[in-house]
């Protein structure tokens, strides 16, 4: 019997993020698996293989209007391998019956994708498969993933296209353990077997990570460069994550083959300035507008020339170009509303060190010129962790207290990614407790 609190979290995950967690179980033991590096105070949940009735009850909260994400990590649940769930096929068939045309997105390590499962998956389309391959060499798979049967995943990847299953690849870069050549070989293997894109993750490490997981910061730049070079060389965008673009210009990073963007002649380096006449302020805005529209007309800047490019695509279909994630202007609009509702005259906006440069640009150019933006160091996880979703109340409080000791603020806005739907951070501290400690209203935005 699952505790009611967990069931309620599952429902919220489904309703808020369109994510359906199935299990935290996994048949591999990757050296970089994030659950191994969490400080003990982190309140995350390990899920057993959830009973089908609980899964279908949570599925009632999903929306068929957007992609349904299965088996991806969701804030408080440790992610696992969905195909270790003993009822995975029944669950997928049931979801397909509930949501006949919806895109079901699955992330898998591919080790359990037998021919029988691939046949079933081919009949359950539309699917968006992401294969976390990480290494395509026997030595690399043994070392990084503790995969004692390295051929299984490689054979499955090689067969995906034969079963008519489009897929994306992902690789957690560990060049200091397996060498750059292993990464190059793996990305080329994915490209040769038809991956549409491959994400190259620069792994984070926390203060609890072992020495072998700590890598020099210079690796990020080197790997981003390699990703860009491979994108030019292969017919497959290789996307570094995190990418941290320097500005908000809606620049196209890569083009996926056989897509509306490719057919219309869009090129990497093109900058979108408007979609159907609506000027765009960031990459996120440009991509979302282009995705939502049917047959959008794009205003494009290419090497100083202005062009109009029409995409032939359905409403909500992906346009087929890849952009780095930068900033969603809706976030600022939400923050503005909260500031107005609180009648705040001197708001303080706390953000992650990743988010600070782009948030400053966005606030100055189209948002909130009078807001004070403060980046918060992550002392709790420390190491290389800089994302907003991994900030905890203790670090946010310390940063706010330091600012408030020097200047007056009448509202503190904290990143919404750091808090769950009960307004609690990863260690269980609430926004109300922060507000009490600071003596100033605190809201997430």
Distance in Å, CB of 10 to ligand SF4, minimum: 18
What number of other Cβ atoms are within 10 A of residue 417's Cβ?
15
- Number of residues written out for the chain: 445
Contact window for ligand SF4 (CB under 6 A) among 21-29, 195-203, 297-305, 334-342: 21-29
Query: Which residues in the 278-317 window bind ligand SF4 by CB under 6 A?
Result: none
Contact window for ligand SF4 (CB under 6 A) among 23-31, 338-346, 368-376, 395-403: 23-31
The C-alpha atoms of residue 181 and residue 183 are separated, in whole angstroms, by: 5
Whether residue 156 contacts residue 111, with contact meaning beta carbons closer than 8 Å, is answered with: yes
Between the alpha carbon of residue 103 and those of residues 59, 323, 346, 370, the distances in Å are 14, 21, 44, 42
Name the nearest CA neighbour of 176 among 148, 209, 198, 149.
209
Distance in Å, CB of 73 to ligand SF4, minimum: 8
C-beta of 150 vs 319, nearer to ligand SF4: 150
Contact window for ligand SF4 (CB under 6 A) among 28-36, 120-128, 200-208, 244-252: 28-36
Distance in Å, CB of 429 to ligand SF4, minimum: 27
C-beta of 381 vs 419, nearer to ligand SF4: 381
In terms of DSSP bridges, do strands 250-251 and 104-108 run parallel, antiparallel, or are they unpaired?
unpaired
Query: Which residues in the 77-136 window bind ligand SF4 by CB under 6 A?
Result: 79-81, 109, 132
Q: Is 7 helix (H, G, I), strand (E, B) or coil?
A: helix
The C-alpha atoms of residue 390 and residue 384 are separated, in whole angstroms, by: 11
C-beta of 178 vs 413, nearer to ligand SF4: 178
Distance in Å, CB of 162 to ligand SF4, minimum: 24
Distance in Å, CB of 266 to ligand SF4, minimum: 33
Contact window for ligand SF4 (CB under 6 A) among 2-10, 22-30, 267-275, 401-409: 22-30
Residue matched to tokens 């691939």? 118
Distance in Å, CB of 302 to ligand SF4, minimum: 39
Total residues binding ligand SF4 (CB under 6 A): 10
Q: Specify the DSSP class assigned to residue 16.
A: I
Query: Which residues in the 132-171 window bind ligand SF4 by CB under 6 A?
Result: 132
- What track of x and - describes contact with ligand SF4 for positions 395 through 434 (by CB under 6 A)? ----------------------------------------
Check residue 30 for interaction with ligand SF4 (CB under 6 A).
yes
Alpha helices in 138-251 (DSSP H): 138-145, 150-160, 175-178, 180-192, 218-233
Contact window for ligand SF4 (CB under 6 A) among 74-82, 92-100, 114-122, 226-234: 74-82
C-beta of 131 vs 339, nearer to ligand SF4: 131
Check residue 28 for interaction with ligand SF4 (CB under 6 A).
yes
The C-alpha atoms of residue 284 and residue 124 are separated, in whole angstroms, by: 30
In DSSP notation, 90-134 reads HHHHHHHHHSTTPPEEEEE-STT--HHHHHHHHTT-SEEEEEE--
C-beta of 109 vs 299, nearer to ligand SF4: 109
In DSSP notation, 190-222 reads HHHTT-S-EEEE-----TTS-GGG---THHHHH
Selected binder of ligand SF4 within 2, 15, 33, 437 (CB under 6 A) = 33
Selected binder of ligand SF4 within 14, 26, 58, 371 (CB under 6 A) = 26
Q: Is 355 helix (H, G, I), strand (E, B) or coil?
A: coil
Contact window for ligand SF4 (CB under 6 A) among 25-33, 51-59, 208-216, 328-336: 25-33
Distance in Å, CB of 24 to ligand SF4, minimum: 8
Contact window for ligand SF4 (CB under 6 A) among 76-84, 121-129, 279-287, 421-429: 76-84
Secondary structure tally for the chain: helices H, strands E: 15, 18
- Prior bond of 90 cis (ω within 30°): no
Joined tokens for residue 73: 């990590």
Given the rule CB under 6 A, which residues bind ligand SF4?
26, 28-30, 33, 79-81, 109, 132
């Amino acid at each position: 019997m699952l505790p009611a609190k967990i069931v309620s979290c599952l429902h919220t995950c489904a309703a808020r993020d369109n994510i359906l967690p199935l299990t935290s179980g996994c048949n591999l033991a990757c050296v970089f698996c994030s659950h191994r590096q969490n400080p003990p105070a982190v309140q995350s949940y390990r899920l057993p293989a959830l009973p089908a009735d609980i899964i279908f009850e949570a599925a009632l909260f999903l929306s068929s209007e957007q992609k349904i994400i299965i088996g991806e990590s969701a804030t408080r649940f440790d992610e696992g391998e969905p195909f270790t769930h003993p009822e995975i096929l029944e669950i997928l068939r049931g979801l397909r019956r509930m949501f006949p045309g919806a895109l079901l997105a699955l992330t898998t390590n591919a080790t359990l994708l037998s021919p029988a499962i691939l046949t079933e998956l081919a009949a359950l389309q539309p699917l968006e498969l992401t294969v976390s391959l990480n290494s395509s060499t026997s030595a690399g798979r043994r070392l990084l993933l503790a995969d004692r049967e390295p051929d299984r995943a490689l054979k499955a990847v090689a067969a995906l296209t034969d079963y008519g299953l489009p897929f994306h690849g992902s690789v957690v870069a560990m060049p200091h353990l397996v060498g750059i050549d292993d990464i190059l070989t793996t990305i080329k293997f994915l490209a040769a077997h038809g991956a549409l894109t491959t994400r190259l993750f620069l792994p984070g490490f926390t203060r609890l990570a072992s020495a072998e997981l700590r890598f020099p910061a210079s690796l990020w730049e080197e790997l981003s460069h390699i990703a860009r070079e491979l994108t030019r060389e292969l017919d497959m965008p290789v996307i570094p994550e995190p990418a941290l673009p320097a500005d908000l210009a809606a620049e196209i990073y890569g083009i996926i083959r056989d897509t509306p963007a490719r057919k219309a002649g869009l090129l990497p380096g093109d900058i979108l300035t408007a979609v159907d006449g609506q000027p765009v302020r960031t990459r996120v805005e440009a991509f979302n507008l282009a995705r939502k529209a049917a047959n959008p007309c794009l205003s494009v800047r290419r090497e100083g020339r202005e062009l109009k490019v029409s995409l032939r695509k359905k409403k909500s279909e992906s346009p087929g170009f890849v952009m780095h994630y930068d900033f969603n202007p809706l976030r600022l609009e939400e923050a503005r509303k909260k500031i107005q509702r609180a009648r705040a005259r001197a708001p303080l906006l706390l953000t992650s060190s990743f988010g600070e440069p782009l948030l400053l640009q966005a606030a100055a150019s189209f948002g909130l010129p009078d807001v004070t933006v403060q980046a918060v160091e992550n002392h709790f996880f420390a190491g290389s962790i800089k994302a907003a979703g991994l900030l905890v109340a203790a670090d946010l409080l310390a940063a706010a207290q330091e600012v408030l000791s020097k200047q007056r603020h009448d509202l503190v806005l904290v990143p919404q990614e750091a808090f769950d739907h009960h307004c609690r951070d990863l260690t269980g501290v609430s926004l109300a407790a922060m507000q009490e400690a600071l003596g100033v209203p605190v809201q997430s935005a």
